């Protein structure tokens, strides 16, 4: 504390001299060296040792305290414990003068970091003549131990920074790029993005069943393959066009009219599955189509393909880092062939569970009977869920909460929650218990909606006094529309803290997960005290929104970018897609440190 006060007094004294008419005279009396002249920093790798040197100009000294750092800043943040020479006392402070030599064994770094890494040296120094420099940082990149294929995959799977994924795309072979994107697709298939497609495909397979004849495994697999290929081709075309034009084309498919129409389609399908009516063409048309279809040895291929394409655009707008990485790669390099192929194989990876659904439907599906009615009803409920999910992107949160409440309570009643439990046995009692749980949860959502709550995860948020929850509600209600590049940069420049900017939109599921799960976390909130938090809503997709995405080289949402205290965009710290609370808190710890 004593040293810090001395430094502040020295800076204040110098500032006062300049402020009260002494600026010109001060310069005449003393020409101060620039930071590059005062401190010449170098780092050279030789014989498995990184030899670092800080050459310090005459009458300049570097402090040997918590302002002197040797750290790895990429691919992860690691503070290095280095062996420094002995410093000496200068007016009560321990300092280095003339030259500071520090050797860092490579093994100490490569035991913690795999692949290429970046070393950063940070120091704080002052001149005997009366000036203290701003903290000086200089970084050096070294080639590390070459990663194996599986190590690269493991590292990239955890990567949330699009620019680093793009670096991999540029520097790796085409075969590796395609393989890594297939792996990304498999991992994406385990996320909620793909789940809504399962009931759609299953209902298509069931609808193609005729009478007592169940679909063969070959027929079910072929239907699934058509669905997956249509989905993959759609993602590829959208990605190619977006990459070439630099546009978020999936936003166009989030138009309120489009979402309303397709939500209506899913409601109509649900009512049909409940048995209220049958959706079909006139009998004369059906006869002709059936004849042509049989001759072509295919059943509903066109309809299946259309549903696969729509599912990719409407139901599963996954904006995870791999998709953004491919799109930005296309826009930067113009290699549309490799970028399109990467998106295609990634979509095939995403579709693997759907192909398994096809195989299972054909091989393991029991013979038709009364169970089919129950299955149809389950798919009907799923269709209604999809309709509410789509409408949630354009309706107010409170209205959406009411719809979810009605759906859960209606499903519970439909399942016989109020039936005489004495008449139920075995698994039926468990189903009735499940129905009761759905009824209670639906009632909780309804009470929450009436009280003014907005979250399905916290329907009673208005009845709690948690500071974290209250802060989350306030932040969600804050006006964040109407940002331009100019307005954002003015707010960044006005901040005396680090700045975090969160780009999101209403139709983005991962954005909602960040707001509901990650940001309210206590550890995250503690870290966010060091930051000025700016939330920007890109739902409108107007010219200002597009300019912001273009300015910071982003594609879609969610995206989180950071600025240091000097208003510099820390692109290497940017994040794309959902990140859990624990990982986000750790990431924040390493920002500008």
* DSSP secondary structure code for residue 18 in this structure: I
Chain centroid to Cα 184, Å, comes to 14
Instruction: Round to whole Å and give the CA distance between 360 and 349.
Output: 18
Task: Report the candidate in 542, 511, 156 with the shortest Cα–Cα distance to residue 550.
Answer: 542
Instruction: Round to whole Å and give the CA distance between 568 and 489.
Output: 10
- Residue 106 dihedral angles phi and psi, to the nearest 5°: -60, -35
Instruction: Round to whole Å and give the CA distance between 396 and 413.
Output: 26
Q: Give residue 499's pLDDT.
A: 92
Integer angstrom CA distances of residue 103 from 49, 76, 113, 120, 231: 6, 21, 18, 14, 55
Q: Give residue 281's pLDDT.
A: 45
Second-level CATH architecture of 467-589: 3-Layer(aba) Sandwich (3.40)
Q: Give residue 467's pLDDT.
A: 47
Sites in the chain below the pLDDT cut of 70: 1-31, 145-172, 191-196, 199-200, 203, 205-216, 242-255, 277-300, 313-334, 360-376, 423-427, 464-481, 507, 509, 555-556, 593
- Same CATH topology for 34-142 and 467-589? no
Instruction: Round to whole Å and give the CA distance between 531 and 563.
Output: 9
Q: Give residue 22's pLDDT.
A: 46
Q: Give residue 477's pLDDT.
A: 42
The Cβ of residue 463 has, within 10 Å, a number of other Cβ atoms equal to: 11
Q: Give residue 62's pLDDT.
A: 93
Domain residue ranges of the chain, discontinuous segments joined by +: 34-142, 162-394, 467-589
Reported as a single tens digit per residue, the pLDDT across 231-284 is 888 878 877 776 666 555 455 556 677 778 778 877 887 787 777 766 554 555
Instruction: Round to whole Å and give the CA distance between 357 and 220.
Output: 8
- Residue 534 dihedral angles phi and psi, to the nearest 5°: -120, 125
The domain defined by 34-142 folds into Immunoglobulin-like (2.60.40)
Torsion of CA 399, 402, 406, 412, to 10 degrees: 140
Integer angstrom CA distances of residue 527 from 321, 475, 531, 582: 24, 16, 8, 11
- pTM value? 0.51
Task: Report the candidate in 536, 532, 451 with the shortest Cα–Cα distance to residue 492.
Answer: 532
Q: Give residue 53's pLDDT.
A: 95
Alpha helices by DSSP H, listed for 18-59, are 23-29, 35-38
């Amino acid at each position: 504390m004593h040293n810090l006060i001395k430094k502040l007094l020295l800076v204040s004294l110098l500032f006062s001299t300049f402020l009260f008419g002494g600026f010109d005279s001060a310069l005449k009396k003393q020409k101060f060296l620039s930071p590059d002249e005062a401190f010449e920093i170098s780092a050279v790798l030789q014989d498995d040792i990184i030899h670092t040197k800080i050459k310090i100009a005459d009458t300049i000294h570097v402090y040997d305290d918590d302002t002197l750092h040797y750290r790895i800043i990429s691919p992860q943040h690691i503070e290095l414990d280095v062996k420094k020479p002995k410093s000496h006392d200068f007016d009560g402070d321990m300092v280095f003068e003339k030259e500071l030599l520090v050797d860092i064994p490579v093994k100490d770094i490569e035991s913690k970091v795999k692949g290429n890494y970046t070393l950063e040296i940070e120091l704080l120094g002052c001149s005997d003549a009366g000036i203290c420099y701003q903290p000086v940082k200089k970084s050096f990149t070294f080639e590390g131990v070459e990663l194996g294929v599986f190590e690269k995959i493991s590292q990239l799977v955890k990567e949330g920074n699009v620019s680093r994924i793009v670096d991999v795309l540029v520097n790796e072979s085409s075969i590796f790029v395609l393989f890594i994107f297939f792996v990304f697709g498999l991992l994406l298939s385990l996320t909620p993005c793909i789940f809504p497609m399962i009931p759609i495909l299953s209902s298509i397979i069931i609808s193609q069943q005729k009478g007592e004849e169940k679909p063969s495994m070959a027929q079910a697999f072929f239907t699934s393959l058509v669905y997956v290929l249509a989905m993959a081709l759609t993602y590829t075309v959208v990605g190619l066009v977006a990459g070439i034009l630099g546009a978020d084309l999936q936003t166009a498919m989030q138009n309120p009219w489009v979402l309303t129409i397709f939500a209506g389609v899913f409601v109509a399908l649900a009512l049909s599955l409940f048995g209220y009516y049958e959706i079909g063409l006139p009998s004369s048309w059906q006869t002709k189509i059936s004849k042509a279809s049989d001759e072509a040895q295919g059943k509903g291929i066109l309809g299946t393909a259309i549903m696969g394409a729509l599912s990719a655009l409407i139901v599963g707008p996954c904006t995870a880092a791999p998709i953004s990485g491919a799109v930005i790669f296309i826009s930067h390099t113009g290699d549309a062939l490799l970028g399109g192929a990467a998106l295609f194989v990634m979509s095939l990876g995403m579709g693997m569970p759907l192909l398994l659904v096809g195989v299972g439907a054909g091989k393991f599906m029991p013979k038709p009977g009364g169970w089919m009615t129950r299955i149809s009803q389950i798919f009907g409920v799923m269709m209604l869920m999809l309709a509410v999910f789509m409408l949630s992107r354009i309706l107010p949160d409170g209205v959406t909460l009411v719809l979810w409440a009605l759906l859960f309570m209606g499903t519970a009643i439909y399942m016989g929650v109020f039936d005489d439990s004495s008449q139920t046995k075995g698994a039926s009692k468990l189903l009735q218990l499940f129905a009761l749980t759905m009824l209670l949860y639906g009632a909780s959502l309804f009470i929450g909606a009436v009280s003014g709550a907005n979250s399905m995860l916290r329907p009673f948020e208005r009845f709690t006094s948690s500071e974290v929850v209250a802060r989350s509600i306030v932040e969600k209600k804050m006006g964040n529309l109407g940002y331009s590049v100019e307005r954002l940069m003015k707010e960044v420049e006005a901040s005396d803290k680090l700045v975090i900017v969160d780009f999101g939109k209403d139709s983005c599921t991962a954005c909602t997960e960040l707001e509901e799960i990650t940001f309210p976390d206590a550890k995250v909130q503690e870290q966010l005290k060091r930051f000025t938090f700016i939330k920007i809503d890109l739902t409108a997709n107007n010219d200002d929104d597009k300019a912001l995405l273009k300015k910071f080289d982003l594609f879609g949402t969610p995206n989180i970018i950071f600025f240091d205290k000097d208003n510099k965009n820390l692109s290497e710290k940017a994040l794309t897609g959902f990140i859990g609370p624990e990982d986000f808190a750790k990431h924040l710890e390493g920002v500008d440190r």
